[in-house]
Chain A
């Protein structure tokens, strides 16, 4: 009895040791790749020149926004009571957008060549014959690319903190914004790594990656707008029952005005980083800001209904800004959303924010993990999942994995 009792912990201990060893080995592999990549990337002046240029750019933009909005608000209705907060919000919004654009440009560019360049330069064979797992290779490549992107993001934190001088955005908002930036960077980086391990050529990988990025950032917005405008022309009777079924009997207050227009699934925009940014920005707004209405339209959650759940004070209570500020939307087409804004408030102001970006972040994380797993499969020669197997063409000789084979075979048969 005691013997069997003793065996179990021993086995568990051994299992733990083995697990620990495999984890540390994997981490060691990731570190090996990471150190190598970063040594290459950080060597010389390039990395630091880029960083300096970037910081100069966003500092300039922040300064421009600040001086422009100061001038505008000095003479605006409502006086200077809320002006400071509005300047802060304007800076916050624009910087967040700018950083997002930088992430969208940089993250895929660093990763889209990660694996394909190793293939092109014929270095990947040496890597694969080491005991490093293909997952470690993929993660090492991805993380080392992202370290630089994150460095750029983090380097901008002091500048973004300028917002606190003016108020209008809380440190929470800043943290949320940076969270969205990082998750987006991670997601887009995974897209790049995946295509890099799928495509044979870096060029193809880069082009396809950016095409996908465009699709995700602008394409989804466009589809959403088209869907909404086409859908709202359809008879209301068709969509109304669906809504009623979906929301169930428990919800008493189904607002007809909100439920009536055909709303594309929210998930369509989950991967669109600009919508997440809008949601984060919505958190800084008081009352019916422009971005909050976008989020409300996207999620289909009437801000006024949700706000009765007790956190009415969260959004700033009854304080309504003088007017919705003009905010650069960074290319997101703002859907015409008169329905939501037109709803008569149920007596309470306030906005239900933070309804969208956590979903979006989760969606990105799920997509990233799937892409990373697929990339690892594609990199590994021994456990390789081949997408085009059934209708596979003769592999071109450029594919390093099979490069010698067909050549030899062809020569042999000639």
Chain B
């Protein structure tokens, strides 16, 4: 599989602060790649460098083999970029907005007409074709902006926090849209600080913090590599005593890393095993006489992964604060 997006030692320095510090990325064609990190991790800066809006202080990046330093024009033709915050022009209709970007990419009039119609269909804005852009809702503007990034049918899409500021419904629609784009064979690089958003969508992720990649790879591989199993939440019948007993019982299991009783009485278990392991654990618990009401895997595996990875690398101050 060829690497369609590569970053090699990408560095961006603002005065004395390092926004991106020697970042490496390898993204294969057809992937949906999630760039995950807390606010201020350097996600946006990285995407802006890839989109040729910033010149890296050191290092280089290639999109479809073109260097962002030496050949920004070719890079611009190969990618569609959607910034995290963007404005829309006043006095412009929805179709004119897309038509304008079509002109910017030098599309012929006939092709523009077709592309505008197709894209409005794709992002579900066809009924609002003649509405003024500023009258659209935030979610619609977001979709319109996504459509603008697709006008020239780019191979690579850079989406910076595409779901920020969207209500749950718009978020679902966006996710559907991204799936559709994945099916169209686009390579998509998404940044987000909301993990569950990416979890279902992405094939690979990179966790970045302080401008460096802390961990990256295919989602499944990473879980394996970091040996993070699941977080299990168990509720048992009975009062605090029964819960404490359950916790003690679970802790004796070799595949359980840690167990604790939460405030609401749920027993939370850090579990190293796989699905078969958790089935075995449940069976043993029941046969050991524990009155299990619910037994569930916690939803956001990546979230745990994320916290774990960023916490591991957390330098002294924060760690001191919690232990002291």
Instruction: List the interface of chain A (C-beta within 8 A of B).
Output: 25, 28-29, 31-32, 35-36, 39-41, 43-44, 120-123, 125-132, 381-382, 384, 394-395, 401-402, 404-413
A378 to B85 Cα, complex, angstroms: 22
Chain A residue nearest in CB terms to B17: A409
User: Which of A31, A128, A406 contacts B14 (CB under 8 A)?
Assistant: A406
B240 contacts chain A at the CB level, 8 A cutoff: no
Cβ-defined contact, A129 with B210, below 8 A: no
Cβ-defined contact, A126 with B148, below 8 A: yes
The answer to whether residues A126 and B76 also contact, given A381-B54, A405-B12, A410-B17 and a CB cut-off of 8 A, is no
Cβ-defined contact, B53 with A129, below 8 A: yes
Chain A residue nearest in CB terms to B55: A382
Measured CB to CB, the closest approach of chain B to A354, in angstroms, equals 42
Cβ-defined contact, B105 with A405, below 8 A: no
User: Which of A36, A131, A401 contacts B76 (CB under 8 A)?
Assistant: A131
Cβ-defined contact, B55 with A409, below 8 A: no
Interface string of B60-98 (1 = CB under 8 A from A): 000000000100110011010101111111111000100
Q: Which residues of A contact B54 (CB under 8 A)?
A: 381, 401-402, 405
User: Which of A36, A121, A125, A412 contacts B210 (CB under 8 A)?
Assistant: A412
A256 to B234 Cα, complex, angstroms: 109
Q: Report whether over half of chain A's contact residues are helix, strand or loop; otherwise say mixed.
A: helix
A121 to B133 Cα, complex, angstroms: 13
Task: Count A-B pairs with CB separation below 8 Å.
Answer: 127
The answer to whether residues A404 and B44 also contact, given A43-B91, A123-B86 and a CB cut-off of 8 A, is yes
B128 contacts chain A at the CB level, 8 A cutoff: no
A210 to B14 Cα, complex, angstroms: 33
The answer to whether residues A131 and B14 also contact, given A39-B92, A408-B41, A412-B19 and a CB cut-off of 8 A, is no
The answer to whether residues A412 and B14 also contact, given A381-B55, A382-B72 and a CB cut-off of 8 A, is no
Q: Which residues of B contact A121 (CB under 8 A)?
A: 87-89
B18 contacts chain A at the CB level, 8 A cutoff: yes
B100 contacts chain A at the CB level, 8 A cutoff: yes
With A32-B103, A408-B45, A410-B17 already in contact, 20 other A-B pairs whose C-beta atoms are closer than 8 Å:
A31-B103, A36-B89, A36-B96, A44-B91, A121-B89, A122-B85, A125-B48, A125-B51, A125-B81, A125-B83, A129-B52, A129-B53, A130-B76, A131-B77, A384-B55, A394-B15, A401-B54, A404-B84, A405-B44, A408-B42
B295 contacts chain A at the CB level, 8 A cutoff: no
B211 contacts chain A at the CB level, 8 A cutoff: yes
A28 to B87 Cα, complex, angstroms: 23
Measured CB to CB, the closest approach of chain B to A327, in angstroms, equals 41
Interface centre among B40, B79, B86, B105 (most CB of A within 10 A): B40
Q: Which residues of A contact B53 (CB under 8 A)?
A: 125, 128-129, 381, 401
A35 to B99 Cα, complex, angstroms: 10
The answer to whether residues A40 and B89 also contact, given A129-B53, A131-B106, A407-B40 and a CB cut-off of 8 A, is yes
